[in-house]
Amino acid sequence: MKIAAVSDIHSPKNIELLNKALSKIDLSSIDLFILAGDLIYKGKLEEVDKVIKALKVDCPVIAVFGNEEYENLHEDIRKRTSGKIRFLEEETYVLEVEGETLGVVGSKGSLDRPTFWQRKNMSNIWQTYNETREKVGKLVSELKTDYKCLLLHYAPTYETLVGEKTSQYPELGSKKYEKLLYNNRLDLVIHGHAHKGKSYAEIASTPIYNVALPLKKRITVIELPLPVKPTSLDFYIKEK
């Protein structure tokens, strides 16, 4: 099962970079294409069409909203992408490929400290972020698929934020999701938003991919099952 993932296209800013990145992978081999938020730049609804045009894929495409897909535009974006991109808001998507299943729990995610704008304009934002974590945790715990994936826009750990200003970590993600990762055996976690962070980290042996296009300059392609990492015992046996 092969997954392609990218985020933070911010069209029109990075649409040419997206097209270039797409040209470098074999799209016909992809079973699921994931968009981890911020497809468009600052609510430019019409830019959704450019992203759709760029994604010349035959496989399902799923996405979560980023902070630049403003909430008042969510319904319009859903209508504009109907039949082409499925957006998940604290929802689960299940894909079956050759008898194996992948369950993806998708959400924008949460911040440990809402941004100044959010604190000023969204009086219930603290409660919203707490409720989002609870909903995501419940959905993840209910996954019964062969492979399990958590898809967020905001980072679910500070580990992939290294490279960003440390003072900004709480406004780029939520470390509180780490408890969810320790309590549930996930095969992978995908997020975006951190343009200057790290592209990869692990929490509780779970691989976490930051697929932000401005950071990676390419599409992240992940094949399941992931390779089994050798242990010290494996090295000992090989040496013997």
The pLDDT, as a whole number, for residue 77 is 97
Per-residue pLDDT, averaged over 19-39, amounts to 96
- Local confidence band at 145 (pLDDT 50, 70, 90 cut-offs): very high
pLDDT, tens only, 10-26: 999 999 999 999 999 99
The pLDDT, as a whole number, for residue 228 is 65
Q: Sketch the domain layout of the chain as residue ranges.
A: 2-239
The pLDDT, as a whole number, for residue 240 is 38
The pLDDT, as a whole number, for residue 232 is 47
Q: How far apart are CA 35 and CA 64, in angstroms?
A: 7
Cβ neighbourhood burial of 175 (10 Å; 0-12, 13-18, 19+): middle
Per-residue pLDDT, averaged over 53-65, amounts to 96
CATH architecture for segment(s) 2-239: 4-Layer Sandwich (3.60)
Asked whether residue 157 carries a pLDDT value surpassing 50, the answer given is: yes
Percentages (nearest 5) of helix, strand, coil residues in the chain: 35, 25, 40
pLDDT, tens only, 176-200: 999 999 999 999 999 999 999 999 9
The radius of gyration of the chain from alpha carbons, rounded to an integer in Å, stands at 18
Alpha-carbon distances, residue 226 vs 96, 206, 239 (angstroms)? 17, 11, 24
The pLDDT, as a whole number, for residue 224 is 94
The pLDDT, as a whole number, for residue 226 is 83
pTM of the shown model: 0.93
The pLDDT, as a whole number, for residue 235 is 44
Alpha-carbon distances, residue 35 vs 81, 99, 114, 238 (angstroms)? 13, 24, 23, 40
Asked whether residue 175 carries a pLDDT value surpassing 70, the answer given is: yes
The pLDDT, as a whole number, for residue 122 is 87
pLDDT, tens only, 203-240: 989 999 999 999 999 999 999 998 766 554 444 444 43
Mean residue pLDDT across the chain: 93
Q: How far apart are CA 56 and CA 4, in angstroms?
A: 13
The pLDDT, as a whole number, for residue 227 is 76
Q: How far apart are CA 189 and CA 174, in angstroms?
A: 14
